[in-house]
Amino acid sequence: MKTPLSSIVLVLFGSFIGSFGAVFLKLGAEHIGGLRRLFTNYWLAVGIVLYLLSSVFYMMGVSQGELTVLYPMVSIGYIWAILWARVFLK
């Protein structure tokens, strides 16, 4: 089975979105002060939503392509996360 370009784009886009999810989870973790604040923390909610959304794109991409080609592309998300942490978290 050959991996289509659309699968590659979906997985790369998913890793890009997931990298923002990591940054928002970090921002949310800095604002946890108790159980009530945990459930009203919009930074945390955005981080969770972005991670879930990235999983959807990942599943869509993997369903049409080869895992051995696509899975290494997920690691690009770590590079993006380092970049966003530097930009947004100093």
**pLDDT tens column, 10-62:** 999 999 999 999 999 999 888 787 766 767 789 999 999 999 999 999 999 99
Stretch 58-82: mean pLDDT: 93
Domain residue limits at 63: 5-89
Number of neighbouring beta carbons within 10 Å of residue 7: 20
How far is C-alpha 85 from the geometric centre of its chain's CA atoms? 13
11 neighbors 70 (Cβ within 8 angstroms) = yes
Mean pLDDT to the nearest integer, 57-69: 94
Tally of structural domains, the chain: 1
Count other Cβ atoms within 10 Å, centred on residue 72: 10
**DSSP H helical segments within 30-75, as ranges?**
35-39, 42-64, 67-74
In 3-state terms, the chain is what percent helix, strand and coil (to 5)? 85, 0, 15
